[in-house]
Chains A and B, each alone.
Chain A
């Protein structure tokens, strides 16, 4: 072997060792089996998840919610005999969020909400929910699968009305255009329930919009279209469509608390004429997260 051959072989060995060392950080299972030069210090093989550079962080607990006193023109969703009233609606969730991989996150949650009317007590209703979701980020799109166990009560947690199991899938994404953030969301749900009349498919197409005016102030709107196909019991064959538009002015009190004054207008049409309704609801909403 000539002196040049020896120098070239040492350069190749160093290059190979450097390459192997760098691959040890990014890592692939196949490259982990490549033999390293014997003159390098031997190291214990890192777990696969560390070779890929991701260590799941501890999951995060949070409490988020909304407190909303509101006025409505149709408390009971009736086609005729619409009743105006004010109501109070708290909606609070306890969440546990975590990541399994950089692009796969999960959430476990429990959620409680109710409506308490001033006069139309027949409209009082409460829901308790327990659920979990997995969200996969694919090129900026969020693909989510969700399961929710739900308890609907008549009154404020007075009498259990029915129990449901909602299974849903959704796709959504955020687009930023200048000071505007657009968040389209498509959601499909099927409800299994011990009440046959509650079983149905539900499709939602929602477009969340936020237009930043200043650091603290923004305009938000969440129009959506919703369609129902009831499958069982006395509601079998019933098909409803709901069109909703909303507009609000949001003030960020802090990064974790905001106040929004908004109005929402809804129209429902149905192949059951009695189910048609129109409703306007306005009022402030205090959102918080801690």
Chain B
């Protein structure tokens, strides 16, 4: 009998926790919390894309030799892009 009472109490607690987690205000608020991170990410991207990636000696050795550039090829070197 005591065992069933304990199980019943645990089930009740679990249901109560579930209800608290499903708080409507909490569900509607949740997407808000990362809004500042999203806005700062946009501003950070703008500044970071203006930085120059330093050359890494190891990667320079691994790159194959480029053929002479053909007429009309892109002036932009490197792989970074926004």
Binding site for B on A (CB under 8 A): 25-26, 50, 52-55, 57-62, 64-66, 68, 72, 77, 89, 91, 93, 97-99, 102-103, 105, 107, 111, 113-115, 123, 125, 127, 135, 137, 142, 144, 152, 154, 161-162, 172, 183, 195-198, 200, 204, 206, 208, 210, 220, 222, 224, 226, 233-235, 242, 244, 246, 250, 255-258, 260, 264, 266, 279, 281, 285, 287-290
Contact = CB atoms under 8 A, between A and B. Distances in A.
B65 to A, nearest CB: 9
A interface secondary structure, majority: strand
Contacts of B57: none
Contacts of A61: 56, 59
Interface in B8-37: 24, 27-28, 30-37
A270 B30 CA distance: 17
Given A91-B44, A257-B51, A260-B47, A102 B73 contact: yes
A81 B33 CA distance: 16
- The size class of the interface chain B forms with chain A is 35 or more
3 closest A-B pairs by beta carbon, nearest first, are A53-B70, A97-B79, A289-B51
A198 B30 contact: yes
Given A53-B69, A59-B79, A154 B33 contact: yes
13 contacts: A53-B69, A55-B64, A55-B67, A64-B51, A102-B74, A195-B30, A196-B27, A200-B31, A234-B24, A234-B27, A235-B28, A285-B44, A290-B54
Given A53-B69, A195-B27, 8 more contacts: A57-B63, A58-B63, A91-B44, A183-B46, A257-B51, A264-B43, A285-B47, A289-B52
A183 B13 CA distance: 55
A252 B8 CA distance: 65
Contact of B80 (A53, A62, A91, A285): A62
Contacts of A287: 44, 47-48, 51
B5 interface: no
Contacts of A102: 73-74
A191 to B, nearest CB: 8
A128 to B, nearest CB: 11
Contacts of A264: 39, 43
Nearest to A210: B50
Contacts of A200: 31
Interface of B: 24, 27-28, 30-37, 39-44, 46-48, 50-54, 56, 59, 62-64, 66-71, 73-74, 76, 78-82
B33 A62 contact: no
Contacts of B44: 65-66, 91, 285, 287
A161 to B, nearest CB: 5
A60 B80 contact: yes
Contacts of B27: 195-197, 233-234
Contact of A197 (B28, B59, B74, B81): B28
Contact of B41 (A91, A208, A285): A91
Nearest to B35: A77
A234 B39 contact: no
A244 B39 contact: yes
A59 to B, nearest CB: 6
B33 A161 contact: yes
B79 A281 contact: no
A125 B34 contact: yes
Given A53-B67, A288-B51, A89 B28 contact: no
